[in-house]
């Protein structure tokens, strides 16, 4: 969060002593580290929110899947003596389909690559640092 007015110009840097340059570089590194931590924290909060939603969907899908499986097993049990199985069978199949849809939606919302913006910023910072030091 460095303002343009806070940056030292090249001739100002050339007039500083080695100790002052090192002190300035350390301060710049601290500022960069703080900014990266703030960005990573914000990005992590967003990913936790997405993971929470995915967890809820996966949990609901799992519960409904177990309920559907139980209903299908009841239907299978009732099918042996040829009782009224059609209603239980339809409900079980519907619950299994809904649970599959919820599980699919939950998996799709899981973060694929953790902290992508932070990783990209760190790569950019590293590249700029290497360019500057060469």
Identify the residue with better confidence: 42 or 115.
42
- For 37, 48, 103, 118, 126, the CA distances from 51, given in Å and listed in that order, are 20, 5, 13, 18, 29
Model pLDDT, residue 108: 86
CB 53 within 8 A of CB 105: no
Q: Which residue has the tokens 């710049």?
A: 28
Q: Indicate the pTM of the whole model.
A: 0.47
Distance CA 94, CA 67 (A): 10
Give 89-98 pLDDT, tens digit per residue: 777 788 889 8
Q: What would the pLDDT profile of 11-54 be if each residue is shown by its tens digit?
A: 777 787 888 878 888 888 888 888 888 888 888 888 888 888 88
Angle at 68 between CA 63 and CA 71, to 5 degrees: 130
pLDDT score for 29: 83
| Crossing angle (nearest 10°) for helices 18-79 and 116-133 | 150
């Amino acid at each position: 969060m460095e303002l343009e007015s806070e940056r030292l110009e090249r001739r100002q840097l050339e007039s500083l002593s080695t100790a002052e340059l090192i002190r300035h570089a350390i301060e710049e590194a601290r500022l960069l580290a703080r900014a990266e931590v703030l960005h990573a924290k914000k990005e992590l909060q967003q990913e936790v929110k997405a993971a929470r939603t995915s967890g809820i969907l996966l949990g609901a899908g799992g519960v409904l899947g177990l309920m559907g499986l139980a209903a299908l097993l009841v239907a299978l049990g009732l099918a042996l003596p040829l009782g009224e199985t059609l209603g239980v069978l339809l409900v079980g199949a519907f619950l299994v389909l809904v649970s599959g849809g919820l599980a699919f939606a939950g998996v799709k919302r899981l973060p694929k690559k953790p902290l992508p913006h932070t990783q990209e910023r760190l790569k950019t910072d590293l590249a700029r640092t290497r360019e500057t030091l060469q």
